[in-house]
């Protein structure tokens, strides 16, 4: 059997390496990105560049979107007039959204998909650009088990773990909880570091003791060097983490769950986001305590 035709919309830090892994796995690939030049390396590697989201959707057995936020997703799906992707999806095709958006939007897409005879998975990812490049992403998946089964060959080309978490929306719910957890872990370390440094001690001492203690955490080992040096070149940009925390707080608000520390952390991420035009990694929340 020939490989299904795959479409990919969104060629940013994550989408680009995901596309390369799809090509390496032998899938015919059609791509689209708002800034077309981002497609260059994929086109050089054999992908076809489409003229619109609609053209990608129309040519795909499996469509994948991975864009930066809910408005960007609604834009490519529905709000691009005749160029919109969703109305062009083929009956029986599979649509996988790997953007991080609200569970409510995932369920809205699921309802529209059911009506149109399209099989939809919300499947946001974790693992960062490193995981995307190695094909070792972790997919958090909401939707029907049979759809996941059918999508596995495509997902396995990009990821090492596929977690089926529940019905549509479940993938996004767990993803928002995960990213809030990461954001508050980094915030916790930033606050501890700020306390130690303002008390006149070297932050390196805190890191050294932390690494011998139960407070040790993977993300802190990764972020500590930049938080000590002040070099915040983005791996996962603060503006996107800020968006994810905000989506988590929106969800919490809708269902009536108080998240006091997450809410407090969001304010510091907001402060740093609003205080600079630089594109910082989210470890740059440390700038909140800059003298």
Question: Which residues are known catalytic residues?
Answer: 175
CB of 249 to a second copy, least distance (A): 9
Cα separation, 105 vs 138, in Å, equals 21
Q: Which of residues 21-80 bind a second copy (CB under 8 A)?
A: none
Cα-to-chain-centroid distance, residue 85: 20
Residue 39, both tokens: 């497609």
User: Is the CB of 32 or the CB of 189 nearer to a second copy?
Assistant: 189
Nearest alpha-carbon partner for 109 in 79, 81, 138, 73: 73
Q: Toward a second copy, which CB reaches closer, 78 or 289?
A: 289
The two structure tokens encoding residue 280: 């910082």
Per DSSP bridges, beta strands 125-126 and 137-142 are: antiparallel
The stretch near a second copy (CB under 8 A) out of 8-16, 62-70, 80-88, 216-224 is 216-224
Out of 47, 123, 238, 259, point to the residue binding a second copy (CB under 8 A).
Answer: 259
Q: Which residue's CB is nearer to a second copy, number 51 or number 264?
A: 264
Mark residue 254 as left, alpha or beta (left: phi above 0; alpha: psi -120 to 50; beta: remaining): alpha
> How far does CA 92 lie from the centroid of its chain?
26
SS3 124: coil
Tell whether the torsion through CA atoms of 192, 197, 201 and 202 is positive or negative. positive
Q: Which is nearer to a second copy, 39 or 182 (CB)?
A: 182
> Which is it for the CA torsion 56, 58, 62, 68, positive or negative?
positive
Min dist CB 278 to a second copy, Å, is 22
Contact with a second copy (CB under 8 A) among 112, 128, 153, 239? 128
Closest CB to a second copy among residues 28, 171:
171
DSSP label of 236? S
Give the torsion through C-alpha atoms of 89, 95, 98, 101, to 10 deg. Answer: 70
Measured distance CA(178)–CA(161) in Å, rounded = 15
* Residues within window 150-189 making contact with a second copy, judged by CB under 8 A: 161, 163, 165-166, 170, 173-174, 176-178, 180-182, 184-185, 187-189
Stretch of 17-25, 40-48, 65-73, 256-264 contacting a second copy, by CB under 8 A: 256-264
Q: Are 99 and 109 in contact, with CB atoms under 8 Å apart?
A: no
Minimum separation from the CB atom of position 165 to a second copy (A): 5
Compute the least distance from the CB of residue 129 to a second copy, in Å. 12
User: From the CB of 246, what's the least distance to a second copy, in Å?
Assistant: 13
Q: What is the DSSP letter of 252?
A: H
Nearer to a second copy (CB atom), residue 46 or residue 233: 233
Q: Which parts of this chain interact with a second copy (CB under 8 A)? A: 103, 126-128, 138, 140, 161, 163, 165-166, 170, 173-174, 176-178, 180-182, 184-185, 187-189, 191-196, 198-199, 201, 205-206, 208-210, 212-220, 222, 248, 251-252, 255-265, 267-268, 288-289
């Amino acid at each position: 059997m020939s490989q299904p035709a795959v479409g990919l919309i969104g060629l940013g830090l994550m989408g680009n390496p995901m596309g390369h892994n799809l090509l390496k796995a032998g899938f015919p690939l059609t791509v689209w990105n708002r800034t077309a030049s981002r497609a260059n390396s994929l086109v050089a590697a054999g992908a076809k560049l489409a003229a619109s989201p609609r053209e990608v959707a129309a040519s795909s057995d499996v469509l994948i979107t991975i864009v930066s936020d809910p408005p960007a997703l609604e834009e490519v799906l529905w709000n691009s007039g005749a160029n919109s992707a969703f109305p062009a999806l083929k009956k029986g095709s599979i649509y996988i959204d790997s953007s991080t958006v609200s569970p409510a939007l995932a369920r809205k897409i699921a309802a529209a998909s059911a009506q149109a005879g399209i099989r939809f998975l919300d499947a946001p990812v974790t693992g960062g650009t490193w995981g995307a490049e190695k094909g070792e992403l972790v997919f958090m998946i909401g939707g029907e088990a049979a759809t996941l089964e059918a999508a596995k060959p495509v997902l396995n080309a990009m990821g090492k773990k596929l977690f089926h978490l529940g019905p549509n929306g479940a993938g996004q719910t767990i993803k928002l909880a995960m990213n809030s957890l990461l954001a508050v872990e980094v915030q916790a370390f930033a606050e501890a570091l700020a306390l130690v440094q303002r008390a006149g001690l070297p932050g390196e001492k805190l890191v050294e003791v932390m690494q011998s203690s139960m407070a040790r955490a993977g993300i802190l080992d990764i972020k500590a060097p930049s938080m000590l040096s002040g070099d915040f070149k983005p791996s996962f940009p603060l503006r996107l983490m800020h968006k994810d925390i905000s989506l988590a707080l929106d969800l919490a608000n809708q269902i009536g769950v108080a998240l006091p520390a997450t809410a407090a952390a969001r304010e510091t991420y907001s402060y740093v986001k609003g205080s600079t035009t630089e594109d910082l990694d989210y470890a740059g929340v440390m700038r909140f305590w800059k003298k």
